[in-house]
Chains A and B, each alone.
Chain A
C-alpha cells in the first residue's frame, strides 16, 4: 500500500503507471551492479521513481577522476557504497538503500541476488558482465545491459528464456580498457537502463528484447540491431527457450 506521502511524491508518474504500477515498484528489489557512471544515473532515477529496495554493489573508493560522470559521489576517498547510500537516501528517504562493498565475482553474486527482481549491469568489464549474465540466466532474472565509451553507448534488455543473452551477442570478451567518457553519455545510457527497469518491473511498454540499441553521441544518432539467440551459446545454449 502506498502512503499519502508516497501518493503525493509520485503524483506525476502515477497517471502513467497507475497505483498498481507504483505499488509494484515499491515492492521491487533491484541490484545495481556497479556504482560508477552507469550505476549513478540508473540508480538516481530508480530511487526517485520509488523502487522500494535498491541494492548497490561496488568495491571501490571514489577517485577525483570519477566525478565527471559518477554523479552519486561528491567526496574523493569515500567508499562508493557509502557515498551511494547517502546520496540515494537523501534523494528519496522513503525507500531502502543497501550498499554492499564487495567485488562482483562468481562467489559473491548469489548472495547479491538474494531477493532481487532485476539486475542493472553497470560494470566496466565483460569478464564481470559474463558473471552477471550467467547468474541472471541461472536465477531467471531480467538483466538490463548497458555500456559506454566516449560519446557512445549501448543498451539491451536480456530476459532469460525469451531473448538472446549477453554471450550470444558478445561471445568473447574484448580487450580490457578504461575508455575516456563524457559524463552525459553515462546519463543517457543509464537513464535508458532505468526506463527499461521500470518497464520490466511494472509490465508497461515493450522492452529492448532481442534489440541492441546503439547511441552515437557524436552524431546524436540512435540505431538498433535485431539480435537472434545463438542455440550453441556457451551461457544460454543448453537452456530451454
Chain B
C-alpha cells in the first residue's frame, strides 16, 4: 500500500520532506516512522516524542501502533511554542 508522509519546519530536512512510502498491508504507524532515516528525532523507544505531533489524515495520533491504510497521509509537525 501507498502512504504519503510529509514533514514540516525543522523536521523537514531531517526526515526528507514529502515522501511516498510503499508499505506492506497491515503496516502500523510505527513501521512508517521507523523507516525514516533519523527517526530518532521522532521516536523515543516506542513512543512519539513530546516535542513532535503526528497527524494521520488530519487527526492527531499519539498511539504509535495505529494501523495504516492505503492512501493515508501522515503529517509530522515539530512543536512550535514561542510567542
Partner-B contacts on A (CB < 8 A): 34, 36-39, 121-126, 146-150, 152-154, 164, 168-172, 174-179, 181, 210, 212, 214, 216, 219, 223, 225-228, 230
Alpha-carbon separation in the docked complex, A210 to B57 (Å): 12
B17 to chain A, nearest CB (A): 10
Partner-A contacts on B (CB < 8 A): 6, 8-10, 12, 50-51, 53, 55, 57-60, 62, 75, 77-83
Alpha-carbon separation in the docked complex, A230 to B61 (Å): 10
Alpha-carbon separation in the docked complex, A82 to B51 (Å): 34
- Residue numbers in B under 8 Å from A126 (CB-CB): 79, 81
Alpha-carbon separation in the docked complex, A52 to B9 (Å): 36
Assess the B82–A37 pair: CB atoms within 8 A: yes
- 9 A-B contacts (beta carbon < 8 Å): A147-B82, A148-B80, A149-B81, A169-B53, A171-B60, A177-B82, A181-B82, A212-B77, A228-B58
- Residue numbers in B under 8 Å from A164 (CB-CB): 58
Q: Which residue of B lies closest to A226 (CB)?
A: B58
A225 to chain B, nearest CB (A): 5
- Given A124-B81, A179-B81, are A216 and B12 also a contact pair (CB < 8 Å)? yes
Assess the B79–A174 pair: CB atoms within 8 A: yes
B52 to chain A, nearest CB (A): 8
Partner of A216, one of B9, B51, B81: B9
Partner of A214, one of B9, B51, B79: B9
Alpha-carbon separation in the docked complex, A228 to B51 (Å): 20
A151 to chain B, nearest CB (A): 9
B13 to chain A, nearest CB (A): 9
- Given A37-B82, A214-B8, are A172 and B62 also a contact pair (CB < 8 Å)? yes
- Residue numbers in A under 8 Å from B10 (CB-CB): 149-150, 152
Assess the B53–A146 pair: CB atoms within 8 A: no
Assess the B81–A227 pair: CB atoms within 8 A: no
- Residue numbers in B under 8 Å from A225 (CB-CB): 6, 8, 55, 58, 75, 77
Partner of B82, one of A124, A170, A171, A227: A124
